[in-house]
Structure 1
Amino acid sequence: MFSIEVPVRFRDTDSNGHVNNAVYNSLSEEAVFALFREAGWDKKAIEATEIGPVVLKAEYTYLKELKYPDTVLVETEVEVLSRTRAVFRQDIFSKNEGILVCKVVNHGMWLDFKRKRPVPLPEEVLRKMEGKEETEAILD
């Protein structure tokens, strides 16, 4: 299990005073990319190899409202990890309320950005992601 904390910003809210549903996509992607960075696959590696993750499908189940100000805890579990695809399960919690506010299932693949074709993720990154122990990162 990998987790990050992300502050809720005022601009994340809509006219109803709760976090807009589009923001959950950003929270999910930020958590997945933080996991990649921990495994050594950062922006520089993506630019150097022109290989990176793309989302095939994302499912969001909204359970409770999330409001400003707050901090969210995004827990990410790698459910499926193959050479070319991955499925991430995520739980997004309100730290203020101590409750689960959203569940996410994210399906992705690795893409060669030049050829626009699926490609394998480098073996060393796969090994690091498979061996990921519980870690936490805080983003501010």
Structure 2
Amino acid sequence: MAKNFEIVVRSTEIDGNGHVNNAKFLEYLEWARQEWSKTSEIDKQKLDLLGINLVTVNININFKREALEGDILTINTELERVGRSSFTLSQKIYNQYNHLIVEAMTTRVVIDNNKKESCAIPEKLKVVLNRIYEQIQ
């Protein structure tokens, strides 16, 4: 299941070069991951019931084109892979002209809340992730 999240670039997000600062795109991607999680039945409350949390351990990001103040950006988030203790999300940011601005791969690891270390994805979460993955195949 892909989820789209839309934002409008504000003047405070522009750097000295007149475009969105590269670091700001990491925030945009985080907001989109939070929205994806909520609509994918992976919200914080459900994770707490499982005694786990999700931690982003890797983001590979490619900047393709600049974004400017007033641009309307659509961030597409889609489940790419499910592993034993982690999963990977593919994220792409497009502007209002459907130009690819950013593409990123984000790896999220499941952390046991008590042990504070990675653990296998609990079965209940794995069922949800596999259902989402099957929808996009």
TM-score, normalising length: structure 2: 0.83
Structure-2 separation of matches of 1:40 and 1:21: 30
Q: Tell me which of the two structures has the higher relative contact order, counting C-alpha pairs closer than 8 angstroms and 6 or more residues apart.
A: 1
Match of 2:12 in 1: 11
Q: After the TM superposition, which of the residue ranges 48-57 and 32-41 deviates more from structure 2?
A: 48-57
The structure carrying a bigger helix percent of its residues is 2
Match of 1:70 in 2: 71
1:108 matched to 2:105: no
Match of 1:126 in 2: 126
Amino acid of the residue matched to residue 131 of structure 1?
A: R
Structure-1 separation of matches of 2:100 and 2:55: 26
Tell me the SS of whatever aligns to 1:108: strand
1:43–1:65 distance in 2 versus 1, CA, 3 Å: same
Tell me the SS of whatever aligns to 1:126: helix
Structure-2 separation of matches of 1:25 and 1:81: 22
Structure-2 separation of matches of 1:59 and 1:70: 23
Write out per-residue CA displacement over residues 49-87 of structure 1, whole angstroms, 9 at most, x where no aligned residue.
552211111111101000111221111221111341011
Match of 1:138 in 2: none
Identity between Structure 1 and Structure 2 (%): 23
Contact preservation (8 Å) 2:50, 2:122: no
1:114–1:13 distance in 2 versus 1, CA, 3 Å: farther
- 5 Å-filtered alignment, 1:1-140, equals 1-95=2-96, 97-132=97-132, 133=135
Q: After the TM superposition, which of the residue ranges 37-46 and 62-71 deviates more from structure 2?
A: 37-46
Write out per-residue CA displacement over residues 10-42 of structure 1, whole angstroms, 9 at most, x where no aligned residue.
221112221111111111122222221112222
Unaligned runs of 5+ in 1: 135-140
Amino acid of the residue matched to residue 110 of structure 2?
A: W
TM-score, normalising length: structure 1: 0.81
Amino acid of the residue matched to residue 37 of structure 2?
A: F
Amino acid of the residue matched to residue 57 of structure 1?
A: N
- The count of residues paired between Structure 1 and Structure 2 equals 133
Contact preservation (8 Å) 2:60, 2:105: yes
Tell me the SS of whatever aligns to 1:15: coil
